[in-house]
Amino acid sequence: MSAIPDLESLHARGAAQQPSYPDRAAVDTAVQKLRTMPPLVFAGECDDLTEKIAAVTRGEAFLLQGGDCAETFAGVTADNVRNKLRVLLQMAVVLTYAASVPVVKVGRLAGQYAKPRSSDNETRVVDGQSITLPAYRGDAVNGYEFNEASRIPDPQRLVDVYNSSAATLNLVRAFVTGGYADLRQVHTWNTDFVRSSPAGQRYETMAGEIERALTFMHAIGADPDEFRRVDFHSSHEALVLEYEHAMTRIDSRTDAPYDVSGHFVWIGERTRQLDGAHVELLSRIRNPIGVKLGPTTSADDAIALAAKLNPDNTPGRLTFITRFGAGKIRDGLPDLVEKVTAAGLHVAWVCDPMHGNTFEASSGYKTRKFEDVIDELQGFFDVHRSLGTWPGGIHIELTGDDVTECVGGGEELAEMDLGNRYESVCDPRLNRVQSLETAFLVAEMLRDA
Ligand code: PEP
Ligand code: CO
Q: Is 413 helix (H, G, I), strand (E, B) or coil?
A: strand
Annotated binding site for phosphoenolpyruvate: 108, 269-270, 292, 323
pLDDT for res 98? 85
Provide mean pLDDT across the span 3-30.
96
Q: What is the pLDDT of residues 51-99, one digit of tens each?
A: 999 999 999 999 999 999 999 999 999 999 999 999 999 999 999 998 8
Cβ–ligand 1 distance for 249 under 6 Å, the answer no
Cα(384)–Cα(349) distance, integer angstroms: 9
The pLDDT-based confidence of 1 (bands split at 50, 70, 90) is very low
In angstroms, what is the span from residue 263 Cα to ligand 1's centroid? 18
d(CA 445, CA 378): 7
348-351 and 393-397 strand pairing: parallel
At residue 194, the pLDDT reads 84
DSSP character string of 225-258: GGGT---EEEEEE---HHHHHHTEEE-TTT--EE
Dihedral sign from CA coordinates of 100, 195, 86, 415: positive
Average pLDDT, the chain: 96
Q: What is the pLDDT of residue 187?
A: 87
Residue 247 is predicted with a pLDDT of 98
Q: What percent of the chain has pLDDT over 70?
A: 100
The domain locations on the chain are: 31-115+155-181+229-448
Query: Could you identify the atom of ligand 1 that is nearest to the CA of residue 115?
Result: 5
For 97-110, what is the mean pLDDT?
A: 95
Please say whether the beta carbons of 67 and 397 come within 8 A.
yes
Determine the average pLDDT of the residues in 189-204. Answer: 88
Binding annotation: 69, 108, 269-270, 292, 323, 355, 397, 427
- In the chain, the amino acid numbered 333 is L
- Mean pLDDT in residue range 191-196: 82
Most ligand 1 atoms within 8 A of CB, residue of 352, 357, 376 to mutate:
352
* CA atoms of 384 and 428, how far apart (whole Å): 27
Query: In 129-212, which ranges are E strands?
Result: 129-134
**Does position 334 have pLDDT exceeding 80, yes or no?**
yes
Indicate the pLDDT class of residue 232, thresholds 50, 70 and 90: very high
Q: Which CATH architecture has domain 31-115+155-181+229-448?
A: Alpha-Beta Barrel (3.20)
Any atom of ligand 1 within 6 Å of the Cβ of 325:
no
Taking only the tens place, the pLDDT of each residue in 115-171 is: 999 999 999 999 999 999 999 999 999 999 999 999 999 999 999 999 999 999 999
Give yes or no for residue 68 CB within 6 A of ligand 1: no
| Percent of all residues in the chain with a pLDDT value above 90, rounded to a whole number | 92
The answer to whether the CB of 295 is under 6 A from ligand 1 is no
Whether ligand 1 lies within 6 angstroms of the CB of 69 is answered as yes
Query: Residue 273 C-alpha to ligand 1 middle, in angstroms?
Result: 15
